[in-house]
Amino acid sequence: MPDTKALLIAGTASGVGKTTVAAGLMATLGRKYKVQPFKVGPDFIDPGHHTQICGRSSRNLDSFMMGEKGVLETFARASKGADFSIIEGVMGLFDGLDTTEIASSAHIAKILDVPVLLVINAHGASRSIAAVVKGFSEFDSKVRIKGIILNNTGSNRHIQLIKDSLHGAGIPVIGALPINKELSIPSRHLGLHMAGENEPKISELANFIEQHIDMDSLKTIAGNFKARDISKVKKEQFTVRIGIANDSAFCFYYQDAFDALKMSGAQLVFFSPMSDPVPEVDGLYLGGGYPELFAKELEASGTRLEIKKAAQDGMPIYGECGALLYLGASLETDRNYRMAGVLGANSRMTTKLQALGYTEAVVIADSPVAKKGAVIRGHEFHYSVTDCDRDSRFAYELNRGKGILKGRDGLMENNTIASYMHTHPASNSFDEFLGQCRKYGSR
């Protein structure tokens, strides 16, 4: 099977239109080809839109959480069978962790050696764009910027002035997009709207991109890519059933997590804590999402009591971010709602962002997901505060990040652990969790 063609869509900064370009290219190419989408960074929301557009699950590529090996493995596995792989970048091309390149779009481009299309906001500028292109192209010669897409352009004369100023730069302008506010996606408190809530105008977006971008040139640039071969690692097999909360309240998961569980032999059973009973499983995995928007439904469902009973029975339960709020005793939004009561903690929503960024945790006590001494990388993003009982036990001490209380995260009770930190299986495998589930199921 031939290698996929590939492109990374980067911007000079956040807000220049790379999401519109990336989604539009996915939609346009998807009319004739199989397109595999990717997103640089830990974001959960853009991949949902990518998946909806392409009909293939979008994957995150994050060099901080996954490491170079994890990035290469995910790309090789996910792009198999795709004609084109389109990677949407994050922030500005060179913006990474603190002042490093780690977790930047440029770092991903270098790891994969993938050609880059640079999106530039052309509003209010002409010859100055040549200076921007010169700076970006020379900043790191290992990043292969192969094409320019101008966004928010004015008249044809405006476009020509920019092209003339770029003469001799060696990087062609392959697209010029006029202002089109109708194709933007509105934002809300935790980022963009989830896929399915605000249906993207996929057909209109595809037409817009096809009209204003030279697709033949784009395909030629994308063809200048060769994927690296990655050796497969044999995984230990666990014959277990894992219940996964999957609905509007719990919807932040990495597709790689599901893949890792399946490749380790786990059978995944999806259910909604708002409307379904707890399935017959050996362990539970509850992700992040928006439990605060569905607190009334979560309180009214008897599932929360079933989960508490399972936890008291010793079932391994792993929760991330939104799941931490649900597994506690209560969640305060417009009023106080009763939650599962598995953990000795009470959470409340605030109007202020409480934590945002990458995390690095040292495991200070054996837990259902990792042994003492392990180091786990992840990220946190939440507007809530969680107050814990005085005798609360924590599994993680953070070298980086805020966590639940004074740099500690991973609240534990019985065989349950929940944290504000989201993790990726490339940083911390599911082997310990699956082993605990197997032990529980064989009692």
Counting as low any pLDDT under 50, the low residues of the chain are 1, 185-199
In this structure, the answer to whether residues 11 and 100 fall within a common structural domain is yes
Q: Report the CATH number that the domain containing residue 106 is assigned in CATH.
A: 3.40.50.300
In this structure, the answer to whether residues 132 and 211 fall within a common structural domain is yes
In this structure, the answer to whether residues 254 and 202 fall within a common structural domain is no
Choose, from 54, 251, 321, 388, the residue flagged as catalytic.
321
In this structure, the answer to whether residues 41 and 123 fall within a common structural domain is yes
Cβ atoms 9, 117 nearer than 8 A: yes
Any catalytic annotation for residue 321?
Answer: yes
Structure tokens that stand for 48 in this block: 């949902």
Q: Report the CATH number that the domain containing residue 329 is assigned in CATH.
A: 3.40.50.880
Neighbouring C-beta atoms of residue 440, cutoff 10 Å: 19
Which helix (H) or strand (E) segment is 413 a member of? strand 408-413
In this structure, the answer to whether residues 251 and 135 fall within a common structural domain is no
The distance in angstroms from the start CA to the end CA of the chain is 46
Structure tokens that stand for 364 in this block: 């200070």
Structure tokens that stand for 201 in this block: 């105008």
Q: Which domain holds residue 62?
A: 5-222
In this structure, the answer to whether residues 209 and 251 fall within a common structural domain is no
232 falls within a domain: no
Give every CB contact of residue 158 below 8 A, 6+ residues apart in sequence. Answer: 122, 126
pLDDT digits (tens, 9 = 90+) for 67-105: 999 999 999 999 999 999 999 999 999 999 999 999 999
pLDDT digits (tens, 9 = 90+) for 286-316: 999 999 999 999 999 999 999 999 999 999 9
151 falls within a domain: yes
Cβ atoms 317, 307 nearer than 8 A: yes
Cβ atoms 276, 247 nearer than 8 A: no
| Confidence at residue 125, expressed as pLDDT on a 0 to 100 scale | 95
Three-state secondary-structure class, residue 294: helix
229 falls within a domain: no
Geometric angle at alpha carbon 276, from 274 and 279, rounded to 5°: 130
Residue type, 84: F
Query: For the chain, what percent of residues have pLDDT higher than 70?
Result: 96
In this structure, the answer to whether residues 270 and 337 fall within a common structural domain is yes
In this structure, the answer to whether residues 251 and 156 fall within a common structural domain is no
Rg value, the chain, Cα: 23
Q: How far apart are CA 406 and CA 145, in angstroms?
A: 43
In this structure, the answer to whether residues 269 and 297 fall within a common structural domain is yes
| Confidence at residue 233, expressed as pLDDT on a 0 to 100 scale | 75
233 falls within a domain: no
235 falls within a domain: no
The domain boundary, picked from 159, 188, 222, lies at 222
The angle that helices 18-29 and 202-212 make with each other, rounded to 10 degrees, is 100
Q: How far apart are CA 100 and CA 63, in angstroms?
A: 12
Three-state secondary-structure class, residue 367: coil
pLDDT digits (tens, 9 = 90+) for 106-144: 999 999 999 999 999 999 999 999 999 999 999 999 999
Closest CA to 409 of 376, 371, 373: 376
| Confidence at residue 198, expressed as pLDDT on a 0 to 100 scale | 47
Q: How far apart are CA 37 and CA 79, in angstroms?
A: 8
In this structure, the answer to whether residues 257 and 218 fall within a common structural domain is no
The domain boundary, picked from 222, 257, 288, lies at 222
Task: Give phi and psi for 417, each to the nearest 5.
Answer: -135, 140
Residue with tokens 């492109």: 7
The domain boundary, picked from 163, 189, 222, lies at 222
Cβ atoms 306, 279 nearer than 8 A: no
Q: How far apart are CA 235 and CA 443, in angstroms?
A: 24
pLDDT digits (tens, 9 = 90+) for 187-198: 433 444 444 444
Rounded alpha-carbon distances, angstroms, from residue 336 to 250, 299, 331, 343: 19, 10, 6, 16
In this structure, the answer to whether residues 247 and 210 fall within a common structural domain is no
| Confidence at residue 230, expressed as pLDDT on a 0 to 100 scale | 80
The angle that helices 63-78 and 105-112 make with each other, rounded to 10 degrees, is 40
Number of domains in the chain: 2
In this structure, the answer to whether residues 372 and 430 fall within a common structural domain is yes
56 falls within a domain: yes
